[in-house]
Chain A
């Protein structure tokens, strides 16, 4: 159908645009937040001068991301004389692409009814509605894990094909660390799957739109606060960010598995990492923070506690949902940056011990507890 095609092209453009914007903005947010946290000003020297005038747009250093990108594009693309040049060239893309693909199953808004949004097009759309999600897959969460598992291959490929001992060590560390924490991540989410009874992310978010006990929003974090904590930790470890950035520990391994990469290839690794922050934010929002739902809000409008209903037009609802999703993602990203600039790095054996001997049992206990509680609540019917 042409209508479907139009809508999904718009969705994909929105998703890609959003991720790229997040990737770029986060480099700035990371610098600035770190600076403000440590009583500094932060990078603010890059500017864009309006041609033929002396007006310099500084905008709190927002153009540093642009300057970085330019620098990476212009720099010499140094290649090591590696025997596996193909794997070397392909590795950044193997890291970068799955990160983007993960977003395909994440719902970033509620139900869209283009006919109601644009009455002029009502005839053409003929009452069709589209959930704001690129791919409505029943296996949503599995896709997320499958694709985020693929970035491990990219990291290990990069480490192996660089023909450099530091890279190889980094690649090995990345492999073992990411596999360990992937497991923990999966286990923490199992509790949520038990509660919601589905792995379809769209349906999971819809189930989070109600309230529990009359006033608490029925978000995943309310049902599973402990799992949320474990998931966040595992996600940061999976993303190889600072308390767990052993694969690229500068003081030990120069830059880990991308030591031998330069110019835009290295930029791609960095960019993938920043987009992954946004993806982790989006996942955490979807699973634990009720996705695009504002508390007490559904597709019809607001229903505040005490049965005060405020109707909202369809356009207002769509915009609110999009904005709420973005804000939540931004908050989670900001939290990740806070963690990154607060905690010191683990030792390598501590990282793996933490995954297998500490987080894994805790995740299992959480799962068991959830299962027993559910069995008890649901009346123990076989």
Chain B
């Protein structure tokens, strides 16, 4: 049987004599790592940060993308109520089944009589796919750039509630003009 011959590649790296002497290259490697160690150690000891790591829950990165899919927010009408009409589209499309909505009826608001009393997202299971945002017919749910403060010792603490989602103050881009009082007809039948 023929002895095994290692395949030769056209670009196989070759070692120079200096590299094959091994020790100088080893020393060079040790020098590099110890230099990095001393540099970082010097930074730590003079009160600066000697690491590239973002120390996550305490520190967050400033350079999130503008379109980063982070924490969910509910947009609001000018009077402060959620734009959500509790249609359950987001809960239906959600692949992780983490959205729970409880609808209620408000006869005084004739334009949007159905509204959520409970709108909760289980962040221990959310996959941040953004499908809820795409499914929403009312532009009621969005995802902010900032990441949610996820880490927790208790998974029951990881539910995002309606109140928390409504703390995001909508700026002019979302505030739909609220239908004028008396505009009862929906569907535009003149």
B32 — which chain A residues lie within 8 A by C-beta?
Answer: 342
- Residues from chain A with Cβ under 8 Å of B52 in the complex: 39-40
A40 touches B33 (CB 8 A): no
Q: Which of A29-37, A69-77, A191-199, A302-310 contacts B (4 or more CB under 8 A)?
A: A29-37
A300: shortest Cβ distance to chain B, in Å?
36
Q: Is B40 an interface residue, CB under 8 A from the partner?
A: yes
Pick from B30, B44, B55: contact of A36, CB below 8 A.
Answer: B44
- Whether the Cβ atoms of B51 and A338 lie closer than 8 Å is no
Indicate if B70 sits at the interface (CB-CB under 8 A): no
Q: How far is the CA of A40 from the CA of B40 in the complex (A)?
A: 9
- Shortest Cβ distance from residue A185 to the other chain B in the assembled complex, whole angstroms: 18
**Nearest residue, chain B, Cβ from A243:** B26
A339's partner among B30, B37, B50, B53 (CB-CB below 8 A) is B30
Q: Mark B29-67, 1 if CB is under 8 A from A, else 0.
A: 110111011001100100000111101000000000000
Please state if B33 and A342 are interface contacts (CB–CB under 8 Å).
Answer: yes
State whether A338 touches B34 (Cβ < 8 A): yes
Shortest Cβ-Cβ A-B pairs, 5 listed: A342-B33, A39-B52, A37-B37, A36-B40, A41-B51
B32 to chain A, nearest CB (A): 8
For the complex with contacts A36-B40, A40-B53, A342-B30, 7 further pairs of A-B residues with Cβ separation under 8 Å are: A36-B50, A36-B51, A37-B33, A38-B36, A39-B53, A41-B53, A339-B30
Chain B residues with Cβ below 8 Å from A343 are 26, 29-30
Which of B37, B41, B44 is close to A338, meaning CB atoms less than 8 Å apart? B37
B residues 15-35 in Cβ contact with A at 8 Å: 26, 29-30, 32-34
Inter-subunit contact B51/A33 (CB<8 Å): no
State how many angstroms separate the Cβ of A30 from the closest Cβ of chain B.
13
A residues 279-316 near B (Cβ < 8 Å) are none
Q: Taking beta carbons and an 8 Å cutoff, which residues of B are in contact with A?
A: 26, 29-30, 32-34, 36-37, 40-41, 44, 50-53, 55
For residue A8, CB closer than 8 A to chain B, the reply is: no
Q: Measured between alpha carbons, how far is A40 from B37 in the docked complex, in Å?
A: 10
Interface residues of A (CB under 8 A from B): 33, 35-41, 338-339, 341-343
Residue pair A39, B40 in contact (C-beta under 8 Å): yes
CB contacts (< 8 Å) of B55 on chain A: these are 41
Nearest-neighbor residue (CB-CB) of A38 within chain B: B36
Assess the A341–B51 pair: CB atoms within 8 A.
Answer: no
Nearest-neighbour CB distance to chain B for A284, whole angstroms, equals 16
Whole-angstrom CA separation of A178 from B176 in the bound complex:
77
Distance between A331 CB and nearest chain B CB, rounded to angstroms: 12
* Bound-state Cα–Cα, A342 to B34, Å: 9
Q: For A38, list chain B residues within 8 Å (CB).
A: 36
Q: Does B29 contact A342, Cβ atoms closer than 8 Å?
A: yes
Q: Tell me, in angstroms, the Cα distance from A343 to B51 when the chains sit together.
A: 21
Question: Chain A residues with Cβ under 8 A from B34's Cβ?
Answer: 37, 338
Nearest B-chain residue to A342, judged by Cβ: B33
For A36, the closest partner residue in chain B by CB is B40
Q: CB-nearest residue of chain B relative to A44?
A: B55
CB-nearest residue of chain A relative to B26?
A: A343
Residue of A nearest to B50 (CB): A36
CA gap between A39 and B32 in the complex, in Å: 13
A341 nearest in chain B by CB position: B33
Report B-chain residues with C-beta under 8 Å of the C-beta of A40: 51-53
Task: Identify 20 residue pairs between A and B in the complex whose beta-carbon atoms are under 8 Å apart, listed by A's number.
Answer: A36-B40, A37-B36, A37-B40, A39-B40, A39-B50, A39-B51, A40-B51, A40-B52, A40-B53, A41-B53, A41-B55, A338-B30, A338-B33, A338-B37, A341-B33, A342-B32, A342-B33, A343-B26, A343-B29, A343-B30
A40 to B29, CA, bound (A): 19
**Assembly CA distance A40 to B54 (angstroms):** 9
Which of B33, B36, B41, B55 has the most CB atoms of chain A within a 10 A radius of its CB?
B33
Instruction: Give the residue name and chain of the A residue nearest to B40 (CB).
Output: A36
How far does the Cβ of A343 sit from chain B's closest Cβ, in whole Å? Answer: 7
Chain B residue contacts of A39, Cβ below 8 A: 36, 40, 50-53
What separation, in Å, do the CA atoms of A338 and B34 have in the docked complex? 7
- Which A residues are CB-close (under 8 A) to B37? 33, 36-37, 338
